[in-house]
A and B are shown apart, each in its own frame.
Chain A
């Protein structure tokens, strides 16, 4: 048995925060749904009826979630499934900052794609992503990144016939050269 930690108002707020955010977003969307424009005909419900029905359910549920999580903050009950077994399937989060770094890198990749083209952008992206995923052997990682970029380009352009971004000059020259080498026209 572990020692009982005091339940501070901050902990209650932390527990309720996700539900408060959902409630606020829900309230904003309800206001938006209230303003949907349409030609009214007698007795017919409008295009906002269905979303508003869902939003009412969302608002009530979020309110209930906020209250109950604030009230029960810090209380945990023994789970039916062995916690050690569950940890094998769902380990706890230990590197939250890496997640946001990965998101940032992905956004950067999407911005770079139209400029430097699929091949070069993918090499850089896959390399960084492997690094964030704790694969930190530079040479194999670099070789693998090139291989992955090439394989994706080949499969999607040559087999699935998808037109991947070639980039702008001068980077597009490399893309076109690779495409020619693969027999993609």
Chain B
């Protein structure tokens, strides 16, 4: 395994791959700093540039954006109380407070060390687990595969938003979008309504760029495109690393958060945001200094940062071993694989040529973590200057990337029209508080799920119990039931705990 990984490192340090890693890290940092952009949009906007590239640098570019996107948001959260993404909100409680108390450089140092430890340890764990996971995946038959997809989608629904009803509707819309076009088994036209462009089905790029890119910009235009707390650019920016003694003092937090981030990363739907919040919550519940949390403690910085960065490696492994993305960013990376004609899954680990590609991606994960920390340490002063770009200008450029990027896929104007349709849909989802990730994952996993469902049903003579009979499929279906019951239990428990407050308009179910 180590020899293979070494081959991967040799590949990563080829000039073009290294350049893509560097570009990816810079882009990931820039988008995670800007409120309203975010790492998923960064990955989406980079996707069109991968069309003409070989697959390795394409995936390296997107993976680097993904990793760096979980880290750099802490800069502006700690320094200016501007969370670039929801995952950076916990960083406001202790990170910003530590900064206000006169130690912003130290707070940045804690975040850097946390990102480094979380990223490296989880990547190492996942690389070790990838082989056994692909061996298990090779034993999957159609019902098992359907159950795996079903499990992934149910956990995404359970964790995606505050309203399970909205999450389910979002998922169903995504699954339906995936059925548009000519059915692969019977050759029947489905939901095409005589429109020629719908006959080929809906392209993944259209869904991803429209929902995550244009939709997000439209929502931001409605919000006035403002950055709150515009004291940006006033503070002196530097990073002071904690000493080994200081690190040893919070060893329990380091170990606990790394394990939590890595494990939660494997769960589909438990993205960096959820992992960051859970890690902070666990620290608040079980930490040695839990009562002082929120007053500028290192534990309050380290726990969410480790959690969010560690979750990335966790998400990459189910994608590579099973072909199942568990988050928006991995959905885009899957789209990049598919655009290059490569289907991620256990077979990648069987073929020597694709095994080199897998090891290159593994090596890129380690290199991304180290690279982003180095860039964060050395160039933080330059990186936070991104905040000074006027939001109106930035939005116009992002919209151009969305439209031209979609057009570039097939040189086809119909793709651009579809982007606008999905952009408006994305805006409406945002407006009415329907989470976007279940829709996107439904659109991506829909064809896989349908194919496994149809094969299972045809093979079993339409016996739907086939999904519950096998040990793998049965376990996964049971896991799905547990996942689906989680939001109901959460709702029941919180309804008991929380007091009713004054009514407000537009609350969802």
Chain B at the A interface: SS class: helix
Complex interface bits, B392-417 against A, C-beta within 8 A gives 1, otherwise 0? 11011101100110011001010011
With both chains docked as a complex, state the minimum distance between the C-beta of B231 and any C-beta of chain A, in angstroms.
13
Chain A's interface size range is 35 or more
* CB <8 Å contact, B454 and A89: no
Complex interface bits, A153-169 against B, C-beta within 8 A gives 1, otherwise 0? 00010001111110000
Option from A4, A135, A164 in Cβ contact (under 8 Å) with B502: A4
Chain B residues, CB < 8 A from A75:
500, 503, 507
* CB <8 Å contact, A45 and B411: no
Stretch at the interface among B82-90, B310-318, B338-346: B82-90
* CB <8 Å contact, B224 and A91: yes
With both chains docked as a complex, state the minimum distance between the C-beta of A183 and any C-beta of chain B, in angstroms.
17
B188 within 8 A of A: yes
A184 within 8 A of B: no
With both chains docked as a complex, state the minimum distance between the C-beta of B340 and any C-beta of chain A, in angstroms.
15
Stretch at the interface among B62-70, B167-175, B465-473: B167-175
Chain A residues, CB < 8 A from B462:
43-45
* CB <8 Å contact, B502 and A43: no
Given A64-B165, A98-B221: A47 touches B185 (CB 8 Å cut-off)? yes
* CB <8 Å contact, B190 and A162: no
* CB <8 Å contact, A85 and B92: yes
Interface residues of A in 22-57 (CB under 8 A from B): 22, 26, 29, 32-33, 36-39, 43-51, 54-55, 57
With both chains docked as a complex, state the minimum distance between the C-beta of B449 and any C-beta of chain A, in angstroms.
8
Stretch at the interface among B48-56, B136-144, B369-377: B48-56
Option from B176, B411, B494 in Cβ contact (under 8 Å) with A54: B176
* CB <8 Å contact, B393 and A95: no
With both chains docked as a complex, state the minimum distance between the C-beta of B248 and any C-beta of chain A, in angstroms.
31
A122 within 8 A of B: yes
* CB <8 Å contact, B509 and A161: no
Chain A residues, CB < 8 A from B188:
36-38, 46-47
Chain A residues, CB < 8 A from B390:
130, 133, 135
Chain B residues, CB < 8 A from A44:
458, 462
Interface residues of B in 221-243 (CB under 8 A from A): 221-226, 228-229
A contact set with B: CB distance below 8 Å: 1-5, 7, 11, 14-15, 18-19, 22, 26, 29, 32-33, 36-39, 43-51, 54-55, 57-58, 61-62, 64-65, 68-69, 72-81, 85-96, 98-99, 102-103, 106-107, 109-110, 113-114, 122, 126, 129-135, 144-145, 148, 152, 156, 160-165
Interface residues of B in 438-478 (CB under 8 A from A): 450, 453-454, 457-458, 461-462
Complex interface bits, B197-223 against A, C-beta within 8 A gives 1, otherwise 0? 000000000000000001001110111
With both chains docked as a complex, state the minimum distance between the C-beta of A40 and any C-beta of chain B, in angstroms.
10
Given A43-B462, A106-B420, A133-B396: A113 touches B413 (CB 8 Å cut-off)? yes
With both chains docked as a complex, state the minimum distance between the C-beta of B230 and any C-beta of chain A, in angstroms.
12
* CB <8 Å contact, B82 and A88: yes
With both chains docked as a complex, state the minimum distance between the C-beta of B79 and any C-beta of chain A, in angstroms.
14
With both chains docked as a complex, state the minimum distance between the C-beta of A114 and any C-beta of chain B, in angstroms.
7
Of A1, A45, A163, chain B has the most CB atoms within 10 Å of the CB of: A45
Chain A residues, CB < 8 A from B395:
129-130, 133
